[in-house]
Amino acid sequence: MALFDAYKKKSTLKAAIKQTTKARGNEGAKADQLFISAYQGFSDIVKGDLVVGEALYNWGFALLHQAKTKAEEESVKLYLDAISKFNFCLLVVPNHLGAAIDGGVAYMDLARILSVDASDELYDLAKEFFDNAERIQRGSAAYNLACICGLRGQEEACLEALELSKECGSLPRADDITSDIDLVRMKNSPWFAEFMERMTAEPEPEVIDESVPVYDNEGNIINNKKKKKPLEYEVDGVVYDVEGNILRTIEPEDSIETTETTETTETVETATGSLDEVLKTEQVATGDNEEESEVKKQAGE
């Protein structure tokens, strides 16, 4: 199978290279069509290689965090390099949530460093990454989108994104939200105060499918910690979990002795019952003999 896949990829690569050559010899729509077809071939070759995809993501992740430690000029180069790795990762693994979120984070950081206006294209590019993350997992980048809306003064869209983030359990802590510079323009709005009041009034229980990776707003996996042993309780030799599901049963150590004692008791009771019946039979027989003797005595007289 591996040999067949390698042969198929090699054949696809040759076809894509051939289409590129043809595209260079054409112009206009014909050339564009050939280029697009070639790009699809190149994409098909690398797509689905999970190891390569994960390597690209972690490469970009490292570049992203290194960029945060550098001065402006050097950090810009590192951010752009990180973004290219995230883009390549998504080409190989289209549903990689970490790459989708972190690509947007990198563009947001880049926009802040360059001090561009909220309407700048860098924020549009960040939004494209976050929209893709939402496609992959609903609510995963809702807060990030709320930040972009906040920067742009889009109050209704900002509230909608915050509500979605709250609903999906991806909302940061209240302190982090109130101190977020991206939401400064929203903080004086009545709806923002009301939202924060509802958020802090009573924490809602969070239900997470632990089989699915959950990422924070910077693309870090936050649900891969070692699971604690679930609580258990025992009733009448049956062990239950906290939801009432039966986990196992406990056999008492004296179960054999109890069985033997029960059988012995039953045997004694049976024997006692038999003895009572014998005594009753003897009493009846004795009574019959006494009556017969009395009859004979009266006849002799």
The two counts, helices (H) then strands (E), for the chain are 11, 3
**What is the C-alpha to C-alpha distance for residues 61 and 217, in angstroms, rounded to an integer?**
13
Q: Which of 27-31, 137-141, 198-202 has the highest mean pLDDT?
A: 137-141
What pLDDT was estimated at residue 240?
Answer: 58
Does the pLDDT value for residue 107 go beyond 70?
A: yes
Does the pLDDT value for residue 289 go beyond 60?
A: no
Give the helix ranges, DSSP H, for 114-241.
121-136, 142-151, 155-167, 174-178, 190-201
What pLDDT was estimated at residue 258?
Answer: 46
What pLDDT was estimated at residue 5?
Answer: 67
**pLDDT bucket at 279, cuts 50 / 70 / 90:** low
Element (H, E) at 299: helix 255-300
Picking from 31-40, 195-204, 258-267, which range would have the lowest pLDDT averaged per residue? Answer: 258-267
What pLDDT was estimated at residue 9?
Answer: 76
Nearest of 253, 257, 222 to residue 237 by alpha carbon: 253
Starting at the edge strand that comes first in sequence, how are the strands of the sheet with 232-235 ordered? 232-235, 238-241, 246-249
What pLDDT was estimated at residue 3?
Answer: 59
Instruction: Say if residues 44 and 25 touch (Cβ distance below 8 Å).
Output: no
Confidence (pTM): 0.61
What pLDDT was estimated at residue 14?
Answer: 84
pLDDT digits (tens, 9 = 90+) for 194-206: 999 998 886 555 5
Count the alpha carbons within 13 Å of 186 in the hemisphere toward its beta carbon.
30
**pLDDT bucket at 207, cuts 50 / 70 / 90:** low
What pLDDT was estimated at residue 295?
Answer: 46
Q: Look at 214 and 3; give whichever has higher pLDDT.
A: 214
Q: Which residues pair with 221 in a beta bridge?
A: 215
